[in-house]
Amino acid sequence: MSKRFSISALAAALLCTPAVASAAEFHVAGAYSADQLWGMRVGLRSNALEQQLLPNNVLDLIGSPSIYLEGALNQWRDSDNHDDKLNALTLLPIFQWHLAGEQRPLYLEAGIGVALLDDSTISNRDLSIHFQFEDRIGLSWQYGTNSKARVSVVYTHYSQADLDRPNDGLDFFSLNWHYPF
């Protein structure tokens, strides 16, 4: 499969997700890894899962988080070789807990979902297969009282849970900007 075809297929798949149909938020992010990788992310978040994923009594047990479905396109590059890149389509539920503040709230966000990659290697990292899990945790802050826009700092891990060997995985720290519709 050519890279051009796979990137187009990933973009088309993202546009067909439920997150696009009921998108509530747009986000962009810049990411960096200690493995000398850097990247960017563009995505949409929907509140379509708010009342469908878990019953209210279960949500109450875990602190009554808001639940979102997020779809995104990612591209990562090797800092030492800019031609070495990897593209990914991700889809995951995000759980968001309100921690503090009313006018400028602070949130804890976490999610576990799936990622489909257009290659299985980047730099010296061998991921073995195109399917990966995305695990993420971060803090998000609504910085203005007149806007619902937020910034977040996020740690993200990609791995395929040893479905195949080797399973080098990828770890990123990112700075995100979220803008609600």
Mean pLDDT for 86-96 is 95
10 within 8 A of 116, measured Cβ to Cβ: yes
pLDDT of amino acid 55: 80
The boundaries of the domain holding residue 162 are 3-180
Nearest to 67 by CA among 78, 56, 81: 56
Mean pLDDT for 106-131 is 97
pLDDT-derived band at 1 (thresholds 50, 70, 90) equals: very low
Mean pLDDT for 111-136 is 97
pLDDT digits (tens, 9 = 90+) for 129-174: 999 999 999 999 999 888 889 999 999 999 999 999 999 999 999 9
Q: How many domains does the chain have?
A: 1
CATH number at residue 14: 2.40.160.20
What's the whole-model pTM score? 0.87
pLDDT of amino acid 10: 54
